[in-house]
Amino acid sequence: MTFPPHLDYLKNPNIVWFDPCWGYYGFWKRLTQFRQERSLDFQSAWLDKDMKRNKELYATALLALSMQQDAPTKHGWWFTKLPHHDPPDGIIGTILEGQIRNIINVREVEIVEYFGGPLLDTLKNKMKNKSYEPNTALVCLLSPNTTKLLNLQNLSQQIQGIKFPLTYIFAVFHGFEIASLPERPGLEDLVKTTLVQLAPEYVVVNFSPHATCKSWLAGKEQSWLKFIGRGKNTDLQKVTVDTTPKLFD
């Protein structure tokens, strides 16, 4: 079994896949460093054009973390970046164990950030006059600078009534959906990250990155690895290097 031609770039033996916890904590570390380097406040640093690529990787990592909550696998979900290859903005992947051999399951990811105005317009503009592979997921990262109250369930209904070039559309943000909060929320409920699947159906996944990454934070999980082989011959290989693989710019 081989991948479709549009995934031939995964033949590159140098591609390193990252644990999404590494991506989550690594992004906030890089943002802090970026602020110090440029002497910027949080809002200015977040909006700086030089952070755009880092935010795309961050949103991809959040999708991988969410998938581990919603569709967990034995080997977990991983993500990677592809230099000089756009689209996609990122890729998530996992290994599924078959009765005979392992199979790698990947999904290309496109990222768009929402800053304000009608969210539906942001999604339409991203996909306007573009074609994507059928399995591609679009993830809309809601900027933390956004204060507008959004009705994502209503937006989902609108999206499902429109013919878009992509089937899988998500929104991800820091915080929680009001309807998903318990009657007496604790602190852990208020510091969650939320992924909302807007299409093909409405699904909400809330998770605490700290709780999800507890094992990784304790040093019990690998931070990066390589997928050896493709299709049914896929296996895992730990990456041992003298220099940490670079993820963020």
Q: Where are the domains of the chain?
A: 14-238
- 57 or 98, which is more confident: 57
Per-residue pLDDT tens digits for 189-224: 446 889 999 999 999 998 888 889 999 999 988 888
pLDDT confidence bin for 236, thresholds 50/70/90:
low
- Residue 53 burial (C-beta neighbours within 10 Å; 0-12, 13-18, 19+): middle
Q: Is the confidence at residue 159, as pLDDT, over 90?
A: yes
pLDDT of 3: 59
pLDDT confidence bin for 4, thresholds 50/70/90:
low
pTM of the model: 0.88
What average pLDDT does this structure show over 14-43? 93
pLDDT of 185: 42
pLDDT confidence bin for 5, thresholds 50/70/90:
confident
